[in-house]
Chain A
Amino acid sequence: MSTLVCSNISKKYGDKEVLKNVDLTLEKGKIYGLIGRNGAGKTTLLSIMSAQNPATSGEVTWDGERVWENRNALNHICFSRELVPSASNNGVGTMTVKEYLQAASYYYPNWNRELAGELVEKFELNVKQKITKLSKGMLSMVTIIVALASKADFTFLDEPVAGLDVVMREYFYRKLLEEYMDTGRTFVVSTHIIEEAANVFEEVIFVKNKGILLKENTEHLVERCVKVSGLSEAVDEATKGMEIHQVEVMGRSKGVTVLLKEGEQIAPNEKLQLQPVNLQNVFVALCGLEE
């Protein structure tokens, strides 16, 4: 089975370290959600994995082959970068949508014109328009088209739904699932709108403190996380020795989010309230602001 592996990746921009000793293995045939706060290093990680940006140290390999300057490996990897509404996209800005998609079709050997055309139509994009003239949502549409039509085995989408309205976001996730079911390609999708994408991700990768905080099956992660609240003493007693996050105290009451380890459980009683949490809650609990 095909895999894309990061081994001990570190990245510095000048003196600023963005990634430190990152190990990550992506398997073929999964949809991963890449989740982290602004500036956590998600884009840097994706650009290094697709050899668009050199790592300061460490190595990325596809099926054992080094990815850097390796055309054969890169034919299987697509990183559809987030476009910014300015002329600064390395000359991309002065291109029309049509020219931009054409350039992508030369770069990706398995480019699917029909799919690109279908998406252009669905998104109602004017292909004669210059990239600089597109709205935020339209720029996202262009990056989505490049990602899906590239037909690359490993495809990364960085904030693909930024600026899209809810109808188009839903359309995108359905289209992504359809493409995934038809082909078994691997997708890594970074997003800040977590909850509506949670059911699409088979696994989630949390990026925090220059590294990978966790990589886990989405349902498994959500199931082992529970919000416990009630009388302070009762909460303390029930969660003793457990990994707790997001402690909130008000008067005699206390609420904590517990990340249960294998075999741990909290017995319900009338002094405690146990509530399930969603993926967004888990993320905020684990990666939110420290007190």
Chain B
Amino acid sequence: MNETLTQEKSIYLQISEMIENDILRGILLEEERVPSTNELSKLYAINPATAAKGINILVDAGILYKKRGIGMFVSEGAKEMILKRRRSEFYDQYIKKLLQEAASLGLGKQEIIEMISEAEEQ
């Protein structure tokens, strides 16, 4: 939760990603309360509506759930859900981008595969 916000990406997306990262890294455990909208707003000096938007994305995805009057909590199985989704996004976010950059450099498929094997050996 203590990463620095960048201007390159929507703040609410960064908020939801940071909470996800904390769940993946075991900083936030399942069935544990996550920081409130107001706490996030104070920590990052952002509008609470923006913080709420970031949290609501995770509620809609079932990663967080609301306990009335107490706050937001990490759902059981949240970590697994995040892993599953991030693996499927890996294709769009990394593989497609990799191929795009490779194409503009004139690198072929074989060369890319060789580079991956090489990197793995190091």
User: Using a CB–CB distance below 8 Å, which chain A residues touch chain B?
Assistant: 30-31, 170, 173-174, 177-178, 180-181, 195, 198-202, 218-219, 222-223, 268-270, 276, 278
Partner of A199, one of B42, B45, B53, B103: B45
Q: Which residues on the A side are within 8 Å of B49 (C-beta)?
A: 30, 202
- Residue B21 CB within 8 A of the other chain: no
> Ordered nearest first, which 10 A-B pairs have the shortest CB separation?
A199-B46, A270-B104, A278-B7, A270-B103, A202-B47, A202-B49, A174-B45, A181-B38, A219-B10, A173-B45
Q: Nearest Cβ distance between residue A219 and chain B, in whole angstroms? A: 5
Partner of A276, one of B9, B42, B103: B9
Q: Nearest Cβ distance between residue A229 and chain B, in whole angstroms? A: 13
- Residue B12 CB within 8 A of the other chain: yes
Contact check, B42 vs A200: say whether CB atoms are below 8 A apart: no
Partner of A270, one of B44, B48, B100: B100
Chain B interface, DSSP helix/strand/loop, else mixed: helix
**Chain B residue nearest in CB terms to A273:** B104
Partner of B45, one of A30, A200, A202, A223: A200
* Known A202-B47, A222-B10, A223-B10; further 17 A-B contacts with Cβ < 8 A: A170-B45, A177-B47, A180-B48, A181-B38, A198-B7, A199-B44, A199-B47, A200-B45, A200-B46, A200-B47, A202-B49, A202-B50, A219-B11, A219-B12, A219-B53, A270-B103, A278-B7
Q: Which residues on the B side are within 8 Å of A180 (C-beta)?
A: 48
Q: Which residues on the A side are within 8 Å of B45 (C-beta)?
A: 170, 173-174, 177, 199-200
**Chain A residue nearest in CB terms to B96:** A268
A177-B45, A181-B38, A219-B50 given as contacts; is B12 within 8 A of A199 (CB)? no
- Residue B56 CB within 8 A of the other chain: no
Contact check, B48 vs A199: say whether CB atoms are below 8 A apart: no
User: Using a CB–CB distance below 8 Å, which chain B residues touch chain A?
Assistant: 5, 7-12, 38, 41-42, 44-50, 53, 100, 103-104
Q: Which residues on the B side are within 8 Å of A219 (C-beta)?
A: 10-12, 50, 53
Q: Nearest Cβ distance between residue B7 and chain A, in whole angstroms? A: 5
**Chain B residue nearest in CB terms to A175:** B45
Q: Nearest Cβ distance between residue A228 and chain B, in whole angstroms? A: 15
Q: Which residues on the A side are within 8 Å of B9 (C-beta)?
A: 276
Q: Which residues on the A side are within 8 Å of B100 (C-beta)?
A: 268-270
Of B5, B10, B100, most A-chain CB atoms within 10 Å: B10
Q: Which residues on the B side are within 8 Å of A201 (C-beta)?
A: 47
Q: Which residues on the B side are within 8 Å of A170 (C-beta)?
A: 45
Q: Which residues on the B side are within 8 Å of A223 (C-beta)?
A: 10
Q: Nearest Cβ distance between residue B52 and chain A, in whole angstroms? A: 10
Q: Which residues on the A side are within 8 Å of B42 (C-beta)?
A: 174, 177-178, 181
**Chain B residue nearest in CB terms to A271:** B104
Q: Which residues on the B side are within 8 Å of A178 (C-beta)?
A: 42
Rounded to whole angstroms, the CA-CA distance of A170 and B47 in the bound complex is 14
Contact check, B104 vs A199: say whether CB atoms are below 8 A apart: no
Rounded to whole angstroms, the CA-CA distance of A198 and B47 in the bound complex is 9
Q: Nearest Cβ distance between residue A244 and chain B, in whole angstroms? A: 22
Of A30, A198, A199, A201, most B-chain CB atoms within 10 Å: A199
